[in-house]
Amino acid sequence: MPNSSNQRLSSVMSHLTSSKPKVVICRNLGPAMPLLMDRTDLDLVVWGEDSACTRAWLLENIKGATGVLVLLQEMVDAELLDAAGPSLRVVSTMSVGTDHIDLPLMAKRNIRVGYTPDVLTEAVADLSVMLALMAGRNDGVAYSLVKSGDWPKFNWSPFTFCGPQLSTTSSSPSRTVGFLGFGRIGQATLARLIPFGITHVLYTGRSTSAPDSARDTALREKHRLAAVEHASLDRLARESDILFVLTPGGQDTYHLVDSVFLRKMKPLSVLVNTGRGTVVDADALATALREKWIWGAGIDVLEGEPRISADHPLVKEPRCVIVPHIGSATFQTRMDMATRAIDNLVAGVLGGNMPAELVAK
């Protein structure tokens, strides 16, 4: 793929004279690109660099397009749709989240939306457990000691670096895990926690989410748990030893985890957010950690990302482990996501059934 700035408009494949449907690809999708480049039934316009396309490039090249493949960085709004014109029928995003897409506008203009759920479930569940362990075992503090070269100078004592154990013990025979959002990823995370001896599960979600008694009974029996229960936010906060935030973003869930919620949590509890940054009030969480309302936090998603500097209040908290939104960052999952996004795009453009279509309302 071309790399120089003078070639950013390359891979524009004779679209001015072609009768094939024009599709715009906003990112070099690496090993998945042959799935597009080998096709002869589409008129491709590709941003060839391994970086986000510029807004100016997108607005210029979207003109007359039938479909567009975007990532989280591309805002799909009225400006973009107006630039595309009435030909645009499909928007495919290589993401589960759709905060960057004006869904009501998509519905109003009858534009189909493809996204990539399911394929990242396992990878995000893996990371969720990793962050729970890292936060509970003071990884941020301990790792920094080694990284800085200060380990040889450290004065060890029997309870240095101790934190709450994830697994059950003879002196602590029960563990309650809470899920703020208990869909595919939540249940996959639970499955990974069972060998640690988890005994109780509490969950809740958006106000529109209803308990699923049959599913809960099946999970309780399958994993030999004492309980799997739908709970109020108040109970979720008070009883969870580990709380996984996995609910979607949006107005319904904005800052559900705020100072009031965090004050109710146990002093040795751990909060993990691999869902959406907007669900957790970052300033309140920083205060909770600083004043020891809770023990620690593992964060993959953070409100305002990626504009997170060393001065951010959570970055300054030693018991907060933050990674830069890498929940789906495995070779296998990213390839699956790219493939799904391409399949959605092609199916939508050619009038077929998308493997994963989001019905915009």
The residues assigned a catalytic role are 325
Percentage of the chain with pLDDT > 70? 94
pLDDT band at 141 (very low <50, low <70, confident <90, very high): confident
pTM given for the model: 0.87
Backbone angles phi, psi at 346, to 5 degrees: -65, -45
Rounded-to-integer distance, Cα 38 and Cα 236, Å? 51
pLDDT in tens, 269-307: 999 999 999 999 999 999 999 999 999 999 999 999 999
Q: Tell me the one-letter amino acid at 330.
A: T
3 state DSSP class of 87: coil
Rounded-to-integer distance, Cα 325 and Cα 327, Å? 6
Query: Which is more confident, 72 or 1?
Result: 72
Is 95 a residue whose pLDDT tops 70? yes
pLDDT on residue 232: 95
pLDDT on residue 209: 63
pLDDT on residue 208: 55
Least confident of 10-19, 24-33, 264-273: 10-19
Rounded-to-integer distance, Cα 361 and Cα 281, Å? 28
Is 360 a residue whose pLDDT tops 90? no
Angle of helix 184-193 versus helix 121-136 axis, rounded to 10: 50
What is the DSSP code (8-state) at residue 73? Answer: T
Query: Matching CATH topology for 5-119+332-358 and 121-322?
Result: yes
Is 140 a residue whose pLDDT tops 50? yes
Q: Tell me the one-letter amino acid at 275.
A: G
Is 16 a residue whose pLDDT tops 50? no
Domain 121-322 has CATH 3.40.50.720: yes
Rounded-to-integer distance, Cα 255 and Cα 56, Å? 34
Is 163 a residue whose pLDDT tops 80? yes
pLDDT in tens, 171-228: 889 999 999 999 999 999 999 999 999 999 999 976 556 788 999 999 999 999 999 9
Backbone angles phi, psi at 96, to 5 degrees: -85, -45
Q: What is the mean pLDDT of the chain?
A: 92
pLDDT on residue 143: 87
Rounded-to-integer distance, Cα 268 and Cα 24, Å? 50
Q: Among 38, 40, 33, 107, which residue's Cα sits nearest to residue 69?
A: 33
pLDDT band at 6 (very low <50, low <70, confident <90, very high): very low
> CB neighbours of 226 closer than 8 A, spacing ≥ 6?
174, 199, 200, 220
pLDDT in tens, 101-115: 999 999 999 999 999
Is 236 a residue whose pLDDT tops 70? yes
Least confident of 1-5, 29-33, 101-105: 1-5
Rounded-to-integer distance, Cα 114 and Cα 357, Å? 4
Query: Which is more confident, 19 or 336?
Result: 336
- Edge-first strand order for the sheet with 357-358 is 43-46, 22-25, 67-70, 90-93, 112-114, 357-358
Fold of the domain spanning 5-119+332-358: Rossmann fold (3.40.50)
Q: Say if CB 116 and CB 337 are below 8 A apart.
A: yes
- The residue ranges of every structural domain in the chain are 5-119+332-358, 121-322
Is 9 a residue whose pLDDT tops 60? no
Is 231 a residue whose pLDDT tops 90? yes
Is 309 a residue whose pLDDT tops 70? yes
Backbone angles phi, psi at 301, to 5 degrees: -125, 140
pLDDT band at 11 (very low <50, low <70, confident <90, very high): very low
